[in-house]
Structure 1
Amino acid sequence: GSFLVTLVVTGPSGVGRATTWIYVDNTPPTADFTFWPADPMRKEAIDFDASPSYDPDGEIVAYHWDFGDGTTAEGKVVSHAYDSDGVYTVVLTVVDDAGAESSATGVVEVKTCHGGTCG
């Protein structure tokens, strides 16, 4: 952002004053996440964790999840289960306290059975 800064110096010779604009760039946050289990089955709860995300010059204030199946969630740690087998692209978008955002994607492959063995 832009900030108008005024420096006032008082000494034996009197008072001196200088004013200038300072421009500070906001570094956007870095989005990252993990999920478990790594090989989920249909209707099994999957825990998604955005703890690896960080903001080098502030803090993350929002976590938006898109699970690739038409559902979304908010929060640093969320759980989701898929109703159908398939390959889903999960998108995490994080927003920092200055409004900058970034996204990370991951692929979740959901199967009916682990390793082709059912029951």
Structure 2
Amino acid sequence: MKVTTDDTRPVAATISSAPSPVATSVTLLPELTRVAMWVTAVVIAVSTAGAVVTLWWPATAGFTGADLVKARLDALKIGLSIGVGSGGVVALYLAWRRQHSTEADLDNRERTLAHQQAVATTT
């Protein structure tokens, strides 16, 4: 196999048997599917509703008047806090995935550049 350089002299191309820096393994994250995202959203909604319902009726049994209103308002606050907290955990997970993906892409580009420079110095 012949490769031509800028000065049009043919140069023999060789394939090295040494491992290249690009050959190192990269851990890939599994793809986030629509089904997984919808299941997560449904689980968060159901857990929020479950917390509100559980705290709304059984936890407020026996209260009357102002105490009942206060206890039910607290139940609603706790249930919605669970929903918001769960959404925050999902947002942190997605931010971690994005950061991991960006770092993996940068690492891959750096290894590709190092490989290209190594090939350029040998030819």
TM-score range, shorter chain: under 0.3
Greater Rg, structure 1 or structure 2? 2
The structure where helix makes up a greater share of residues is 2
